């Protein structure tokens, strides 16, 4: 009998015991299986079982690596990680898809969520802030899929982002002026482009006398600021009760005397309340939004606003009055994240808001766009 088969038999013997596996309980299970083994084998089985019942099991060493942002499990035979330079195949393997399924269900249960054949996917936050998404086979191929997004272990400064190549020295100066002027802005970009990292760095540069209220679906923004408070959304429990949405929290944030309202990621009905807040005297509001380019940001807001019940014209008029600047990040195929453009939003004669490029950044330097003078004037007025 192989070690994997022996482990499976012991696991089934201990399935009804909710306590942590011990050498004594494992030895008793082996005796029940009429297997005589030495103490080294017992301890090996105890370690294997504890890895299954504690933390994230065999994924624990990957999450502990410096710079890891994502760990992705594609069935039992393919586990990848991302350290900022693209996906890397690791040597971690699972015995079979049932082992992946057990891990996914245990992580979901730790987050207070249900994951089974009746509810075959889950999106939740672990206690340490790690974001969990899982889909069970056979809906998922080549097996059960687990995606773990690791929260930032530290907040980067603008100087560090310059050193990393995300920003140029000139871009840093413009972004500092943007913060000082208390202009309303969004950081846009694709998944993994560094939106949250840049936004946290900018919030850390805000005046220490300002009170910022941060609203997030899952806590990721941790700016180095003496007066930053945060509200976090909550999914419904297994009975379907207790749901707290971002939209609920944006409304609460407005009652907390904020100098800045920050929405970690604008992706749903909360866009209505955010736009209302930006148009009622809450200057300096900001957040992130998924978009392929700075030019796509108005369309993204339009789609979210219309889906939430706002007429198209109302979305554009509130967007024009409440939001000033778009800061767009791009992640290239090699995984390098860079600031690509700073644009300014302008309302056209047709009643639609469009992004007008003010500054475009590249390895060669920065180019002035048609919105440059308007951006400079806006930041001068605010400063």
Please give the Cα distance from 318 to 122 (Å, whole number): 34
- pLDDT tens digits for range 269-322: 888 888 888 887 778 999 999 999 999 999 999 999 999 999 999 999 999 999
The two three-digit tokens of residue 333, written as one number:
């195929």
pTM of the predicted model as reported, rounded to 2 decimal places:
0.77
Cis peptide before 167 (omega within 30 of 0): no
> Please, which pLDDT band fits residue 18 given cuts at 50, 70 and 90?
very low
DSSP run (H or E) holding 6: helix 3-13
Exposure of 24 by Cβ count < 10 A (0-12 exposed, 13-18 middle, 19+ buried)? exposed
- pLDDT tens digits for range 245-265: 888 998 899 899 999 999 988
The two beta strands, 286-290 and 260-263, are: parallel
- pLDDT tens digits for range 30-42: 656 656 666 676 6
List residues bridging with 341 in a β-sheet. 328, 360
Question: Percentage helix, strand, coil, to 5, in the chain?
Answer: 35, 25, 40
**What percent of the chain is predicted at pLDDT more than 70?**
85
Is the pLDDT at 366 greater than 90? The verdict is no
Residue 329 contacts residue 195 (beta carbons within 8 Å): yes
Residue 119: count of CB within 10 angstroms of its CB: 12
């Amino acid at each position: 009998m192989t070690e994997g088969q022996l482990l499976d038999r012991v696991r089934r013997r201990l399935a009804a015991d909710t306590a942590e596996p011990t050498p004594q309980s494992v030895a008793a299970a082996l005796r029940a299986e009429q297997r005589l083994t030495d103490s080294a084998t017992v301890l090996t089985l105890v370690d294997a079982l504890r890895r299954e019942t504690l933390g994230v099991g065999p994924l624990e060493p990957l999450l502990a690596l410096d710079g890891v942002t994502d760990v992705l499990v594609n069935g039992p035979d393919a586990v990848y990680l991302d350290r900022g330079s693209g996906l890397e195949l690791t040597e971690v393997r699972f015995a079979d898809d049932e082992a992946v399924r057990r891990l996914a269900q245990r992580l979901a249960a730790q987050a207070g969520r249900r994951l089974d054949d009746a509810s075959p996917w889950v999106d939740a936050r672990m206690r340490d802030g790690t974001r969990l998404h899982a889909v069970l086979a056979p809906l998922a191929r080549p097996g059960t899929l687990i995606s773990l997004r690791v929260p930032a272990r530290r907040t980067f400064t603008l100087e560090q982002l310059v050193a990393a190549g995300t920003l140029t020295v000139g871009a840093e100066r413009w972004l500092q002026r943007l913060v000082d002027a208390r202009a309303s802005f969004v950081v846009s970009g694709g998944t993994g482009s560094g939106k949250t990292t840049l936004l946290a760095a900018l919030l850390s540069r805000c005046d220490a006398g300002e009170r910022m209220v941060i609203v997030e679906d899952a806590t990721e923004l941790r700016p180095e600021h003496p007066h930053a408070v945060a509200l976090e959304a909550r999914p419904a429990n297994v009975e379907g009760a207790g749901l707290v949405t971002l939209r609920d929290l944006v409304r609460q944030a407005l009652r907390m005397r904020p100098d800045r309202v920050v929405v970690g990621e604008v992706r749903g009905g909360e866009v209505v309340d955010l736009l209302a807040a930006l148009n009622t005297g809450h200057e300096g509001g900001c957040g992130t939004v998924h978009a392929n380019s700075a030019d796509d940001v108005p369309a993204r807001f339009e789609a979210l606003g219309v889906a939430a019940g706002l007429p198209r014209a109302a979305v554009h008029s509130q967007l024009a009055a409440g939001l000033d600047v778009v800061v767009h990040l791009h992640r290239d195929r090699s995984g390098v994240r860079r600031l690509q453009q700073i644009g300014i939003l302008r309302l056209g004669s047709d009643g639609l808001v469009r992004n007008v490029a003010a500054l475009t950044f590249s390895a060669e330097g920065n180019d002035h766009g048609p919105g440059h003078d308007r951006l400079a004037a806006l930041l001068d007025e605010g400063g």
